[in-house]
Structure 1
Amino acid sequence: MMKRSLLLLCSFLLFTGCASTASQAETERYTYQSVDTSFVNPLIGYMQNAEETQPYTEMALVYIDLTWRELEPERGIYDWDTIAAKNQLDRWRSEGKHGVLRFVCDVPGEEAHRDIPDWLYDETGDGMDYDIDYGKGYCPNYANAVFRQEHHRTLQEIGRYFSENYGDFVAYVELGSLGHWGEWHVKYSAGLPFLPKTEIRKEYVEAYAKAFPKARLLSRRSYVEMPEGTGIYNDVTGDEEETERLLRELAEGGASHSMNEEYVLKPLHEIWKTAPVGGEFTSGLPMEEMLSQNMEKTWELIEATHPSFLGPKIPDVRAEDGGLSETARKNARRIQNRLGYRYRVSELQISNEDNEERLWTGVYKRLTGQEEAWRRYKQVAITLQNDGLAPMYFDWPVVLYLVKEDDFTGTKRYPIEGLKLTEISENQSATSAVQIPAEELEAENVALYIGIEDPETGEPAVQLAMDAPEVKRMYRLK
């Protein structure tokens, strides 16, 4: 019996060796053309205030601006019901959108007011009421020990609420809390106090990191206390002078007058390759001007900063009442179409398995009776290209699907572990392969699809910029 098995083994090895040599050159190659179609994808693009009941553009993100005064009118009592209804949180979550959150303590306005709760003002009260060219408001003393303690406690409650009630809905958090509009600057030239020094600001940053462990954090500038991976939001997109100043800071570092410190900004060359860039269009220039006669410069600034999202100050692209010319609306859509990532499959290669260890192990098991049927595998290699301005900053899984007879309810999944979306930046590509049993891949009426899944739903959610049949965000490869 043993002699017969060895004879069969030798014969089989000779046969498979010849067959393997002959088939190594048999590689199927498929290429796919890119498309310039406009579409809205998760985690990128234009965004409007979450309070908008009728958004005037398609969007995948909503902006949530939360003041301390509205959140916690009494210490330890949070008005979440009002905030959830006002910002339509259930609606946006059910529609598959994500949130960009900013917590603020000072929003200049037309009337005298305070954006911190009265109980907190009573316990601190060492800030300054102001009436300046920004507007009227109250600038707290952010270095006050009581203020800091209460702030960090409240921030933890915000993180808890969103995590427990809305999962991963909040994808980005713009570090606010300090300064006018939470932008980490004050009008010190009008007599307002400087912001705290680095050591105290670091407390605020650490509180954010603790409260939102899954969200991507963004800062108004590249402050030295920001942890690795913190992005930037540019709230004056389209303003040449201010945006070029930001680019210089990212290249060289520097000082910040609002902190009255020499070295508070660290250089972060090509930050967009590893951390998100957001922001909104500047309020200092007419939208028509930025998107028509000055469009070339606007686009140049956007390309230089590589934003993934812009808002809530964005162009109204509605033809009927948006107030913009057709040229401006067209350019607004052009910008929207390039924000963030834009992935596509450029090539598919299918070849015989090159894993010799698995091949010979399978042969041995089959001939020694340890395995009923020897399985032959195909190596399926995918090249993924990014034509956008930035990568995705979340490693959503890239998955191959085998679909039989157009039955999408019983698909077989093959995740491509080697494709990391966070590592595929602008105009870059990456290739990785998975092993699929040949009898499954070559079965009659079986098609091969690809998709990028939202981990929260487990469903394909990203539109790919490629010329291929699409069903429920799955794209047919062969």
Structure 2
Amino acid sequence: MEYAPAPLDNPLRGMVPYASATGRDRFPHSMEFSYFALDELMKGPDEFDWTPIDAVLRDVKKRRNQLIFRVYAEYPGKASAVPEYLIDAGLAVTDWTSEGGRITHHTPDYEDGRFRDALEAFIKAMGAKYDGNPDIGYITAGLLGSWGEWHTYPRPELWASKRTQREVMDAYAGAFKATKVLLRYPAGPESERYSDNHDRPFGYHDDSFAWTTLKTGGPNDSWCFEGLLEATNAGGKWKHQPIGGEIRPELWSRSFTSDRHPRDQGFVECVEAMHVTWLMDSGLFDARFPMDEERKRTALTETARLGYELHVAEAKWADGVMSLTVENRGVAPFYYDWPVEVEVEGEVRTTNWRLTDVLPGQPRVWSLEMAKSGRLRIRIPNPMKGGRPLRFANKQQGMEWLVVQS
């Protein structure tokens, strides 16, 4: 069966704008990202207001996209996002500045038992509300550190202890069984700063993508993303858990142009080495940054390497059984087992074929019983109502159905 490139707006992969981006429509995408402040969502020990998230979910869904989001308790340059009831109860917050006093930070005491209890209660409630919600693609863990990015640089003494980190990860593991959660930093048992997460059910997001992603043989190799993965023995985790992130802000104005930043490590090289599924890049989606035809053409070519690309390479009928050889031409699997449906002679039925099993370089054979002369079509509908279906990289792929035998 003939190959044809899959659409760049296939679900749950590709480039991702902020939901508020001014140039959101300039480039194909199937997901959008949003931050949420913890104090907007948590009003008391067991009192939660999900209105801010629900409003963004509705807005994103209107555009047939799914949401990635993160909740933060501190965001440099913004007011404190610690719930007011904790402040009233006496939770300490350290106010400090960076970048020569230009940026103000409000870091809560991450070791205060009241704050740790609040985080655990919040994650449990958030999981009860949103785990398995088809309108959500991924969640980045957040909650700890500046931007919810799990660091308080350059004030490491304010950072959360391993105990607090473990409690947050335990809460996420218990609350989210279906929706994929991503952590900022890979860490193994030997990590000085981070609690071991190499064997936990989480992916990772590299928020300095193409800046400190690959090892260079220099002093940064011990904490660049590739170096952390290797030290953590988590280099193969992408086979089961997603890798995402954000292109480093210093690269935004020149990403996908012929005049890339000298420190740009190469988009395609980084994607293929780290098996990345999704990335944010305001250079493509923010009206502040020019988008000429050359930049768009280059971006269309390079971002096609992100995530999965499923191709039905062969269909073979023998002894009443149709066997389909399915290969993944991408760099990562599809991470959710959405139902694969077939239509045989006008009857639609759901198969037991597992999308998550189709890894790059490891073709799978899907089989079903049918008459040789029967008509066969395949589709993978999006569980989100109105969402884009997952489409194969086949010339015979239509807007919804892949025609195998007509």
Give the TM-score band, short-chain normalised. 0.7 to 0.9
DSSP 3-state at the match of 2:300 = helix
CA contact (8 A) 1:234 1:243 kept: no
Letter paired with 1:431: V
- Deviation digits for residues 139-198 of structure 1, max 9, x if unmatched? 1111211100011112222223335xx8332231211111111111112x447423212x
TM-score by length of 2: 0.85
- Deviation digits for residues 225-280 of structure 1, max 9, x if unmatched? 435331110111121x34432101111x2xxxxxxxxxxxx220222122100001
- Deviation digits for residues 205-226 of structure 1, max 9, x if unmatched? 0111222221111111113443
User: Equivalent residue for 2:243?
Assistant: 277
The unaligned stretches of length 5 or more in structure 1 are 1-31, 254-265, 353-377, 405-410
Which of 135, 160, 169 is the equivalent residue of 2:128? 160
User: Equivalent residue for 2:61?
Assistant: 93
Structure 1 residue 230 corresponds to structure 2 residue 202 = yes
Structure 1 residue 66 corresponds to structure 2 residue 31 = no
Which of 400, 412, 417 is the equivalent residue of 2:348? 412
User: Equivalent residue for 1:177?
Assistant: 143
DSSP 3-state at the match of 2:138 = strand
Structure 1 residue 451 corresponds to structure 2 residue 379 = yes
CA contact (8 A) 2:208 2:246 kept: yes
DSSP 3-state at the match of 2:127 = helix
User: Equivalent residue for 1:102?
Assistant: 70
Q: CA deviation at 1:77?
A: 4.3
Structure 1 residue 424 corresponds to structure 2 residue 358 = yes
User: Equivalent residue for 2:339?
Assistant: 397
Structure 1 residue 149 corresponds to structure 2 residue 117 = yes
CA contact (8 A) 2:213 2:265 kept: no
CA contact (8 A) 1:288 1:325 kept: no
CA contact (8 A) 2:377 2:403 kept: yes
Cα distance in 2, alignment partners of residues 153 and 50 from structure 1: 27
CA contact (8 A) 2:11 2:31 kept: yes
Q: Summarize the Cα distance change of 1:168–1:288 in structure 2 as closer, same or farther, 3 Å threshold.
A: same
Larger relative contact order (C-alpha < 8 A, sep ≥ 6)? Answer: 2
User: Equivalent residue for 2:228?
Assistant: 249
Structure 1 residue 477 corresponds to structure 2 residue 389 = no
User: Equivalent residue for 1:375?
Assistant: none
Cα distance in 1, alignment partners of residues 360 and 225 from structure 2: 20
CA contact (8 A) 2:45 2:121 kept: no
Q: Summarize the Cα distance change of 1:287–1:397 in structure 2 as closer, same or farther, 3 Å threshold.
A: same
Cα distance in 1, alignment partners of residues 205 and 128 from structure 2: 24
User: Equivalent residue for 2:183?
Assistant: 219
Cα distance in 2, alignment partners of residues 152 and 430 from structure 1: 40
Alignment coverage as a number of residue pairs: 384
Q: Summarize the Cα distance change of 1:52–1:392 in structure 2 as closer, same or farther, 3 Å threshold.
A: same
Q: CA deviation at 1:74?
A: 5.4
1:12-91 matches, cutoff 5 A? 32-36=1-5, 38-52=7-21, 55-56=24-25, 57-73=27-43, 76-85=46-55, 87=56, 89-91=57-59
User: Equivalent residue for 2:98?
Assistant: 132
Q: Summarize the Cα distance change of 1:384–1:193 in structure 2 as closer, same or farther, 3 Å threshold.
A: same
Q: CA deviation at 1:334?
A: 1.9
Q: CA deviation at 1:102?
A: 1.1
User: Once structures 1 and 2 are overlaid, which stretch shifts more, 219-228 or 389-398?
Assistant: 219-228
- Deviation digits for residues 291-332 of structure 1, max 9, x if unmatched? 433478232112211211112x333269x9751343322222
Q: CA deviation at 1:284?
A: 2.3
The unaligned stretches of length 5 or more in structure 2 are 189-195, 216-223
Cα distance in 2, alignment partners of residues 283 and 68 from structure 1: 24
Q: CA deviation at 1:68?
A: 0.8
Q: CA deviation at 1:383?
A: 0.4
User: Equivalent residue for 1:13?
Assistant: none
Indicate the RMSD between aligned Cα atoms, in angstroms: 2.8
Letter paired with 2:309: R
* Identity over aligned pairs, percent: 23
User: Equivalent residue for 2:221?
Assistant: none
Larger radius of gyration: 1
